[in-house]
Amino acid sequence: MLKHAGTNFITRIWYGIPEQVRHLMVPCVVILGALVIAHHLFVPRDFGLYGHYRASSVLENAERPIKYAGSQACADCHGDIVTTKMTGYHKGVACESCHGPAAAHTEDPENVKPSIPRTRSHCLLCHEYLPSRPTGFPQVVSESHNPVKPCITCHQPHDPKPPHALKGCEACHTNIQRTIVLSHHASLECTVCHDTPKEHNVSPREYAPKKPQSREFCGKCHAQGAESSKEIPRVNMASHGGKYLCWECHYPHMPEAH
C-alpha cells in the first residue's frame, strides 16, 4: 500500500483496496455488465410498463379483427326485418345467431353474403325436445313433427307464430280444410255432407265417412224448387247431368262451375 502512496488519487484508492477484493471485483463487474446487456437485448422495452407483462400485448389483443358485427349493424340496412322481428317470439335472437358472423358482409355487402340456414336441423338445435331444456321453452319431437319438411315451410323464422292446434276434421284433412275455406261451401260443416260414424276418430280406415250417394242430396239446396237461400245457384235436376252424381263433375270442396 505504501508503495503507491503519493501517486494520483484514483490509483491510491484502487491500491487501497485489499488485493483479494480487487481481484474479486473484476468478475463481478463483468457479470453485472453482461446482465445489463442481456436485459437490454432480451426484455422488451415496454415490459413492466403497466405490470409484469408486455404492455403492447394488450394492444395486440385489442386489435384483433371482429367477425360478428353485432345486431345494430344489421339493423342499419335491414330495418324491415328488424321491425318484423321486434314483436315476435324471436325478438331476443340476434341476427347472427342464425346467419353466422357477418362483419365481412357489412364491409362488402354485394360479394359477401351471410349464410341462410334453411335446414330442419338448424332449428332443431334449439327446438328439439330435450328433458334438460328449461320448462316452457317451445320444443318439438322432430321424429313425429312433420318429418322431413323444413321448418320454414310452416314457420316464418323472423316472426315464428306457433300455428294454432288443429282440431276436429282438419287435424287430419288439412288440405281439404285449406281448400274449402276459400270456396262457397266454406260455411258448411263436414258432417252436413259426410255422414261420419263416431268410431272414425279412433279407427279412420275401418269406419269411413260416407259421401252423398244421390243427386237428390245436392238437389235439397240446388234444385229449382228447393227451399233455400235465393243466392244459391239452381239447376234443372231432370235435364242437367243425366245419370251422374253431382260430385262426379263438381268438386264439392271447391264447387265453382267453370
Partner 1 sequence: MRKKGDEHVDKERRTLCKLLLVGTCSLILPGAAGAVAEKKSSTSWYGTTYKPSEHLYGMGIKVDRCIGCGRCVDGCKKENNVPDEPFFFRTWVERYVIADDGQVTVDSPDGGREGFKGPTEEKRAFKSFFVPKICNHCEKPPCVQVCPVGATYRTKDGVILVDGDYCIGCRYCIQACPYGARFLHPVKKTAEKCTFCYHRIVKGLVPACVEVCPTQARVFGDLMTTASPISQFKRMHKIVVLKPHLNTEPKVFYADLDMEVR
Binding site for partner 1 (CB under 8 A): 9, 12-13, 16-17, 32, 36, 40, 44-68, 70-71, 90, 92-94, 96-97, 100-101, 124-126, 128, 130-134, 137
What are the backbone dihedrals phi and psi of residue 246, each rounded to the nearest 5 degrees, phi first?
Answer: -55, -45
Nearer to partner 1, 48 or 233 (CB): 48
What are the backbone dihedrals phi and psi of residue 235, each rounded to the nearest 5 degrees, phi first?
Answer: -135, 160
Nearer to partner 1, 98 or 169 (CB): 98
Tally of CB atoms within 10 A around 28: 10
CB of residue 124 vs partner 1: minimum separation in angstroms?
7
Nearer to partner 1, 62 or 148 (CB): 62
Cα(first)–Cα(last) distance of the chain, in Å? 135
- Exposure on the CB side of residue 242, measured as CA atoms within 13 A: 2
Residue at 48: amino acid letter: G
Is 152 within 8 Å of 119 (Cβ atoms)?
Answer: no
CB of residue 128 vs partner 1: minimum separation in angstroms?
7
Q: Which residues contact 49 (CB under 8 A, 6 or more apart)?
A: 55
Is 160 within 8 Å of 90 (Cβ atoms)?
Answer: yes
Cα 64 to Cα 97: distance, rounded to the nearest angstrom: 21
Cα 160 to Cα 41: distance, rounded to the nearest angstrom: 63
Cα 93 to Cα 158: distance, rounded to the nearest angstrom: 9
For residue 121, what is its C-alpha cell? Answer: 336441423
Nearer to partner 1, 17 or 166 (CB): 17
What are the backbone dihedrals phi and psi of residue 107, each rounded to the nearest 5 degrees, phi first?
Answer: -85, -35
CB of residue 133 vs partner 1: minimum separation in angstroms?
5
Cα 90 to Cα 157: distance, rounded to the nearest angstrom: 8
Nearer to partner 1, 133 or 161 (CB): 133
Nearer to partner 1, 52 or 230 (CB): 52
Nearer to partner 1, 47 or 247 (CB): 47
Residue at 256: amino acid letter: E
